[in-house]
Amino acid sequence: MLEIRNLHASAAEREILRGIDLTVNAGEVHAIMGPNGSGKSTLAHVLSGREPYEVTALLEMAPEERARAGIFLAFQYPVEIPGVSTTYFLKAALNATRKHRGLEELDAMDFLALLKEKTALVEMDQGLLNRPINEGFSGGEKKRNEIFQMAVLDPKLAILDETDSGLDIDALRIVAHGVDQLRNKDRATILITHYQRLLNYIIPDYVHVLFDGRIVTSGGKELAHELEQRGYSWIEERLQAGSVS
Amino acid sequence: MTELEEARERYCADFERFKQKAARNGGGWTYPLRKTAISRFAEVGFPTTRDEEWKYTSVAPIVKVRFRRADPRPNGVVPRALAQTGAGELAKNRLVFVNGHYSERLSSVGSLPGGVKVESLAAALVNDPAAVEPYLARHASYQDHAFVALNTAFMEDGAFVHVPKGCVIDEPIHLLFVSTSNGEATVSYPRNLIVIDSDSQVKIVESYVEVGGRGYLTNGVTEVIAGENSVIDHCKLERENETAFHVATLQARLGRSSNFVSHSITLGGALIRNDVNVMLDGEGGDCTLNGLYLGTGERHIDNHTRIDHMKPHCVSRELYKGILDGKVKAVFNGKIVVGKDARKTDAKQTNRNLLLSEEATIDTKPQLEIFNNDVKCSHASTIGRLDENALFYLRSRGLGLETARALLTYAFASEVVNQIKIAPVRAGLDDLLTARLQKICQA
Mean pLDDT of B291-319: 97
Please determine, for residue A226, whether its predicted confidence score (pLDDT) is greater than 60: yes
Identity of residue B330:
A
ipTM > 0.95?
no
Same domain, B354 and B408: no
Please determine, for residue A244, whether its predicted confidence score (pLDDT) is greater than 90: no
pLDDT bin (cut points 50, 70, 90) of residue A229 is confident
Distance CA B227, CA B231 (A): 9
Is B403's CB within 8 Å of A49's CB? no
pLDDT bin (cut points 50, 70, 90) of residue B96 is very high
Same domain, B205 and B241: yes
Helix (H), strand (E), coil (C) string for A182-229: CCCCCCEEEEEECCCHHHHCCCCCEEEEEECCEEEEEECCHHHHHHHH
Range of lowest pLDDT (A53-67, A192-206, B62-76): A53-67
- Structural domain includes residue B15: no
Mean pLDDT of A102-106: 92
Same domain, B244 and B225: yes
Mean pLDDT of B229-240: 97
Same domain, B302 and B317: yes
Residue of B397, B411, B414 lying closest to A149 (CB–CB): B397
Percent of chain B with pLDDT over 90: 86
Residue of B393, B399, B408 lying closest to A96 (CB–CB): B399
Range of lowest pLDDT (A27-36, B89-98, B210-219): B89-98
Distance CA A50, CA A214 (A): 20
Chain A / chain B CB contacts < 8 angstroms? 78
Please determine, for residue B325, whether its predicted confidence score (pLDDT) is greater than 80: yes
Q: Residues A122-150: pLDDT tens digits?
A: 888 888 999 999 999 999 999 999 999 99
Contact B211, B94 (CB under 8 A): no
Mean pLDDT of B365-384: 95
Same domain, B237 and B383: yes
| DSSP conformational letter for B190 | -
Alpha helical stretches, state H, B119-200: 121-127, 129-132, 146-154
Neighbours of B84 (CB within 10 A): 12
Same domain, B369 and B395: no
Percent of chain B with pLDDT over 70: 98
Contact B349, B380 (CB under 8 A): yes
- Structural domain includes residue B56: no
Is A48's CB within 8 Å of B415's CB? no
Contact B270, B61 (CB under 8 A): yes
Please determine, for residue B62, whether its predicted confidence score (pLDDT) is greater than 50: yes
Mean pLDDT of B149-154: 97
Cβ-based interface (< 8 Å): residues of A facing B: 48-51, 62-64, 66-68, 72-73, 75, 78-79, 81-84, 89-90, 92-94, 96-97, 100, 132-133, 149, 153
Same domain, B326 and B262: yes
Distance CA B316, CA B303 (A): 17
Residues belonging to chain B:
443
pLDDT on residue B205: 97
Distance CA B230, CA B59 (A): 37
Please determine, for residue B284, whether its predicted confidence score (pLDDT) is greater than 90: yes
Tell me which of A117 and B73 has the higher pLDDT: A117
Domain end (from B347, B368, B387): B387
Same domain, B438 and B365: no
- Structural domain includes residue B140: yes
Domain end (from B387, B407, B434): B387
Residues from chain B that touch A41, judged by Cβ atoms under 8 A, are none
Same domain, B328 and B409: no
Interface test with B, best of A47, A89, A90, A149 (most B CBs within 10 A): A89
Chain-centroid distance of CA B273 in Å reads: 9
- The kind and range of the H/E element at A117 are helix A108-121
Please determine, for residue B404, whether its predicted confidence score (pLDDT) is greater than 70: yes
pLDDT on residue A245: 45
- Structural domain includes residue B35: no
Please determine, for residue B261, whether its predicted confidence score (pLDDT) is greater than 70: yes
Tell me the nearest-neighbour CA distance from A239 into chain B, angstroms. Answer: 36
Please determine, for residue A231, whether its predicted confidence score (pLDDT) is greater than 50: yes
pLDDT on residue B212: 84
Same domain, B225 and B301: yes
Give the closest residue to B222 by CA, choosing from B238, B240, B198. Answer: B238
| DSSP conformational letter for A4 | E
Please determine, for residue A47, whether its predicted confidence score (pLDDT) is greater than 60: yes
Same domain, B255 and B341: yes
Domain end (from B387, B403, B425): B387
Is A84's CB within 8 Å of B403's CB? no
Distance CA B89, CA B172 (A): 11
Please count the structural domains in chain B: 2
Name the residue range of residue B373's domain: 70-387
Q: Residues B179-209: pLDDT tens digits?
A: 987 778 999 999 999 999 999 999 999 999 9
Please determine, for residue B110, whether its predicted confidence score (pLDDT) is greater than 60: yes
Same domain, B285 and B423: no
- Structural domain includes residue B29: no
